Structure 1
Amino acid sequence: MHRIAVLAVFSLLLSGCEKGNPLTVVKAVAVGVPSLAPFFEENSGLGEDATTVRAQPVRGSLQQGDTPGLYGGSKKPTVCDVTRLERFLTDPRNHAKAQAWADVLHIGTAAIPEYLDRLTPVLLRHDTLVKNHDYKKEKAVPYNSLLQAGIAILVDEQGLPAVKCSCGNPLRPFEGDTGRISVRFEDGNKKWAGYERESVVAVKPAARKLERVALVDVQEPSLGLDRPVGTTGAQDTPFDAQQRRTVPDLTGRSFAQAARELIGTGLAAGYAGQRAPSGDARVTSTDPPAGTELPFGRYVMLTVAGSGSSGTGGARKSTTTPPPPPSGPRTPPPSTAPPSGPTGSSGPSSSSGKPGVSPSPPSSSTAPGSASPERSSTRPSPPPSTASPPTSAPVASSAPAPPPPPPSTTAAPATSRPATSEPATGEPATDGPSTTVAT
């Protein structure tokens, strides 16, 4: 009886913990499967998904919108027909739908054309968590969803998913815990080949507005596409995605500064654990180390001080303030070597195709419910940008570099572990092959 009572108390304690951090139910959305309640009919020609894209591995489930290689591209300018979407939303006959659509994005209906002109079409290279919206009873109904890699979307000026191209559904950032989700594969959205929980990402906004988005060609991964924000692909500038970029010396930088420098170099900042370190956590080492040459978009794992047992991700508090020096004569600090972080993920596979851009001719089809003539699918080019495609030289942060961290005299960073080593989070049974994803 005593043993049964102890087990019952333990069960109640666990139940209380689960109530404080419940699982977030997420609906899977597969490539080519129509929405049950879309803003626009899936066959209206608003967008074209890519059926051959497999989710790429990541190092850290929360990625900035300007992470190099986060999104893919195609030499087809009609992957998203923004002109048709704009014409449909500005048609007076569709005012109720346009009002619901604009409310999701916190803009007025009069601002829709200007808003759309700042969006950029891309293809997902990762299974991506978003807050999706159906259209029911003249209202936008939100729900959390996992979009399969290969789905075409429009992203805003900070790299955030804004619209699902094929149905025009507005998208907002996922607000749940990426480590505590229950994915439901239902309504024809069967679990797709290559689905793995460590490939799931959510996107947070870039630190500043983008002038261009650096993409990887999904058909030719050795080719990069530098796409000006607000253009559909006809003005892409190709670059060699296999060109080597040198890992900069990031020791002593804050995590936020290190991430900015890597992004400017054309590399991605990686971390272990379910949560990214705090922005002011100090980097103690990188894997691979400074001076290593990597292709575009490859992850560099950052190890930071004060991050608990993992040594990388999940830092709650960073060691940024050194303890006061002891009184009396100083003695030389002991020599310490920074720990090695986990190995970054492999970059895109090499292809022998030659770089180049061959845009398709503009679409001439009409929007559903619209009788107005078609405009050119190539939107006006934004003002010339002074930025250039990522190069092998690191881009210095606009903030002054902080002083190097003092040698630790309290606790050395623990050995880090890869993000994929964490056990799966338990979840209740679901209808169909549900999956709990935790990175």
Structure 2
Amino acid sequence: MTFRAFMQRLATKTACLLVLVLAVSGCDRATPLLAVKAVAAGVPSLAPFFDEGSDLGRDQPVTSQPVRGSLQQGDTPGLYGGSKQPTICDVDKLEKFLTDPMNDQKAQAWARALGITTAEIPEYLDRLTPVLLRHDTLVQNHDYKKGKAVPYDSLLQAGIAILVDRQGQPAAKCSCGNPLRPFAGDTNRISVEFGDGNKEWKGYDRSSVVAVRPASRPLEKIALVDVADPDRGISRPVGTTGAKDDTFDTRRTQAVPRLTGKTFGEARQALADKGLATGYDTGSAPADGARVTATDPPAGAELRFGQYVTVSVAEGSSSEGGLTSPPPSASPPSAPSASGPSKPGPSTSGPSKPGPSTPGPSTPGTSPPPTSASVGTPPGPSTSPSPSPSPPTSPPPSSPTSVTSAPPAVTSSPPLTTSAPPPSPPPVTTSAPPPATTTGAPPPSSGSAPEEPTASVAT
């Protein structure tokens, strides 16, 4: 009887599990893969905006580079390549074509695809910069059909020459002038279709595909890697085609800054300032507000320009996750008023960055912040400053140091001075890529050194 009951229970559980599996697989089938058309380097477009026989742009043979994380920002060091040949994209020729009254219909379609007016085309083109793709890159491409720009998702092969805007996003394909927009789909759910002369190219690797998101701020220069000589870096001012390039040695190394306790957004910017790329090993990119718990390689490791630092973040520690109610940007102003509440954590805003590292410690003791938040524990003993005014009266024994009233007043003073540092030099300075490329000295924006001194205040 017991055996029969056991078998019935087992059968019930198996049936429930089968239903669950079928339900999940059914949901998966309900979201089909997004079809993406492959576009190989050197292969003419079937419906171009511009006659490709006019040498508007030249693609070059480039092997796609490995990537850690399919979503990368437009200022990621080494994301794009360059060449000593300043004519990989003839922007003047494209401008003459689009401003010619004979091509007004194409100009209107081109402008609408990019969200500008035809009158704005010359100024818009003046802000674009020619680069070469170093990764197989997902974009929203456009064909010109029946007087309109027809959008479609495509995968551009590494080596294709494109124009990028001031935030590093693809804006136009050089060889045909077709406008490009950001890829809006899920990079993990695509089906690449090879056809129309675009055969699967040698070196194609699904795991090395990237989509580009805009940099957090407009760029002044874009740091490129010479596709013919990877040891040579190119610092190209935005809106120029190569005549004003500066060069640098990509073999020169930079130390990985200490990022534990910072937000993912801050860590990414600190790495970009050092000339290092940000990677992640999760399926989707972490939220900018997520707290960094570790890096690989760790702080202090020496890496050359464009190498990846894989950043790990705490689960549920994103800005919308609720670990800290104020986002990183709100933490600096809250530091001065933090002495009032009973939370000792906010006083840790003293370390390195203004406030990004403070939200972590100020909340219930979670594991991610400890490294940068450990300096927040010293104020613990001095959390009894409230009894300090009571020493004049001998009765209250509640004060731990009731014998001498002077010492308590002195001990309570230091914590107040530790809250003064918050007004430390805020934010990010100059544009991300350039600092790491034009000078050998590491940019001072990483802020890793200041974290150590604050720990001594704990004593």
Asked if TM exceeds 0.5, the reply is: yes
Instruction: Write out per-residue CA displacement over residues 88-116 of structure 1, whole angstroms, 9 at most, x where no aligned residue.
Output: 00000000000000001111101100000
Does 2:80 correspond to 1:31? no
CA contact (8 A) 1:173 1:204 kept: yes
Q: 1:45 maps to which residue?
A: 55
For the residues of structure 2 that align with 1:301 and 1:113, how far apart are their CA atoms? 40
Q: 2:166 maps to which residue?
A: 157
Question: What letter is aligned with 1:32?
Answer: G
Q: 1:54: Cα distance to partner?
A: 0.4
TM-score by length of 2: 0.69
Q: 1:5: Cα distance to partner?
A: 12
User: Pick from 131, 134, 140: which aligns with 1:122?
Assistant: 131
Q: How does 1:222-233 map to 2 (within 5 A)?
A: 222-233=231-242
Q: 2:254 maps to which residue?
A: 245
Instruction: Name the CA shift for 1:386/1:249 in 2 (closer, same or farther; >3 Å).
Output: closer
Q: 2:304 maps to which residue?
A: 295
Instruction: Write out per-residue CA displacement over residues 29-86 of structure 1, whole angstroms, 9 at most, x where no aligned residue.
Output: 00111111111122121000002x1000011100000000000000001000000000
Q: 2:445 maps to which residue?
A: 396
Q: 1:270 maps to which residue?
A: 279
Q: 1:305: Cα distance to partner?
A: 1.3
CA contact (8 A) 1:287 1:302 kept: yes
Query: Identity rate of aligned residues, in percent?
Result: 60
Moved more, 175-184 or 284-293: 284-293
Q: 1:315: Cα distance to partner?
A: 11
Instruction: Name the CA shift for 1:37/1:8 in 2 (closer, same or farther; >3 Å).
Output: farther
Instruction: Name the CA shift for 1:5/1:269 in 2 (closer, same or farther; >3 Å).
Output: closer
- Structure 1, unaligned runs of 5 or more: 309-313, 327-332, 339-384, 404-439
Q: 1:174 maps to which residue?
A: 183
User: Pick from 236, 255, 263: which aligns with 2:245?
Assistant: 236
Instruction: Write out per-residue CA displacement over residues 220-243 of structure 1, whole angstroms, 9 at most, x where no aligned residue.
Output: 000000000011011110100000
Does 2:28 correspond to 1:17? yes
CA contact (8 A) 1:277 1:316 kept: no
User: Pick from 260, 269, 274: which aligns with 1:260?
Assistant: 269
For the residues of structure 2 that align with 1:149 and 1:106, how far apart are their CA atoms? 26
Instruction: Name the CA shift for 1:113/1:15 in 2 (closer, same or farther; >3 Å).
Output: same
User: Pick from 189, 195, 205: which aligns with 1:186?
Assistant: 195
Q: How does 1:17-416 map to 2 (within 5 A)?
A: 17-19=28-30, 21-51=31-61, 53-306=62-315, 317=321, 319-320=323-324, 389=438, 391-396=440-445
Question: What letter is aligned with 2:442?
Answer: A
Greater helix share, structure number? 2
Question: What letter is aligned with 1:396?
Answer: S
Q: RCO (CA 8 Å, sep 6+): is it higher in 1 or 2?
A: 1
SS at match of 2:310: strand
SS at match of 1:286: strand
SS at match of 1:77: coil
C-alpha RMSD of the superposition: 3.1
For the residues of structure 2 that align with 1:33 and 1:8, how far apart are their CA atoms? 48
CA contact (8 A) 1:66 1:213 kept: yes
User: Which one has a bigger Cα radius of gyration?
Assistant: 2
TM-score by length of 1: 0.72
Q: 1:184: Cα distance to partner?
A: 0.2
Q: 1:245: Cα distance to partner?
A: 0.8
Q: 1:15: Cα distance to partner?
A: 2.2
For the residues of structure 2 that align with 1:43 and 1:18, how far apart are their CA atoms? 44
Q: 1:17: Cα distance to partner?
A: 3.5
- Structure 2, unaligned runs of 5 or more: 1-11, 325-359, 373-432, 453-459
For the residues of structure 1 that align with 2:223 and 2:434, how far apart are their CA atoms? 15
For the residues of structure 2 that align with 1:199 and 1:214, how far apart are their CA atoms? 20
Instruction: Name the CA shift for 1:14/1:102 in 2 (closer, same or farther; >3 Å).
Output: same
For the residues of structure 2 that align with 1:202 and 1:157, how far apart are their CA atoms? 17
Instruction: Name the CA shift for 1:296/1:117 in 2 (closer, same or farther; >3 Å).
Output: same
Q: 1:394: Cα distance to partner?
A: 3.5
For the residues of structure 2 that align with 1:319 and 1:180, how far apart are their CA atoms? 30
SS at match of 1:396: helix
For the residues of structure 1 that align with 2:95 and 2:39, how far apart are their CA atoms? 24
Instruction: Write out per-residue CA displacement over residues 218-275 of structure 1, whole angstroms, 9 at most, x where no aligned residue.
Output: 0000000000001101111010000011111111111100100000010011101221
